[in-house]
Amino acid sequence: TYSAAVGFFLHLVQCVLMGRCVNGQCVCDPGFSGPDCSEKPCPGNCNNRGRCVNGQCVCNPGFTGPDCSKKACPDNCNNRGRCVNGKCVCDSGYTGANCAEIACPGNCNNRGRCVNGQCFCNPGFTGPDCSKKACPDNCNNRGRCVNGQCFCNPGFTGPDCSKKACPDNCNNRGRCVNGQCVCDDGFGGPDCSEKACPDNCNNRGRCVNGKCVCDSGYTGANCAEIACPGNCNNRGRCVNGQCVCDDGFTGADCSEKSCPNNCSNKGKCVNGKCVCNAGFAAPDCAAKSCPNNCSNKGRCIKGRCLCRRGFTGPDCSQCEDGMTGPNCDTGEHLLLTEIRNIRTDWL
């Protein structure tokens, strides 16, 4: 028919223009293909990794390039990097398989996750790039974190600086509780540096090197006892603030020498000797005294003189009848005879 003839003619013309007709088939010139040599060829025949459309390769997924010889990168690296052997080499500041993510500094040093350019560090690490060791609870904002260890501000302590510190750490002689030292037995003071005193001196004195210096009016190892005046002058015992004096001493402070039987309450004690009231005699004023102490010529018995032989009178100061002389031992008649003899001799 006419149309068939026209088609054959066009086929023949095209084949003639872009190739040779051999036995009814077109042998196309280089650069053309198809049954009638009307199609432009693609480079490398797209390496069997794509379709050739009007001389251009339409590559299969995963391949790219004019001849589909290169491995493709996902999303063409979002124009934020280079594609090398199918992998994105991202520009600075971007990361991810397709360079879609904003990069984190140092890639978080493999110690955290990168989210929108910010590092979310794994436990134990901190810093914009997770390069620093973290401190527990960030030291509670009470200290500095250095290599994962808290250096606490003054007044705070503990691995996380959460505890109030005690002065000088209680000198290792007690426990720190809420900033105050609870000292071990035997130690005291705000920092447990002082030796403790028994019973804290009962709040009646000061503790100095483990010994109580008692306030006025108190005594004893723990200041529990009421003090005695003058500490009884080391001449007695202090009992509840009163001196119990040793034998031979008396007075509120045992400073005075005592008198026998306290002078029987019949005289005054002066320097350990009784000065008896009138009518009483030493040594303890217990006996009634005799007038003039019997003039040393007799014994005083119950207030009455028992005179020696030859003496008489209330105080033994007189000679008995018929006796004379200083010792009342010379008879009166003998004396007259001797006087007459002396006078005769004189004559």
Residue 14 lies in a domain: no
Residue 80 lies in a domain: no
Residue 316 lies in a domain: yes
> Per the structure, how many domains does the chain have?
1
64 beta partners: 70
Residue 283 lies in a domain: no
Residue 15 lies in a domain: no
Residue 319 lies in a domain: yes
**Domain range enclosing 327:** 290-337
Per-residue pLDDT at 346 exceeds 80: no
What the block records as the tokens of 60 is 């299969």
Question: CB neighbours (10 Å) of residue 138?
Answer: 14
What the block records as the tokens of 237 is 């015992």
Residue 16 lies in a domain: no
Residue 107 lies in a domain: no
pTM for the structure as a whole: 0.37
Residue 347: burial class (beta carbons within 10 Å; 0-12, 13-18, 19+) = exposed
Q: What is the mean pLDDT of the chain?
A: 86
Look at 37-46, 101-110, 164-173, 205-214 and tell me which has the smallest mean pLDDT.
37-46
Q: Give pLDDT, residue 99.
A: 93
Q: Give pLDDT, residue 282.
A: 74
- Over pLDDT 90: what percentage of the chain? 45
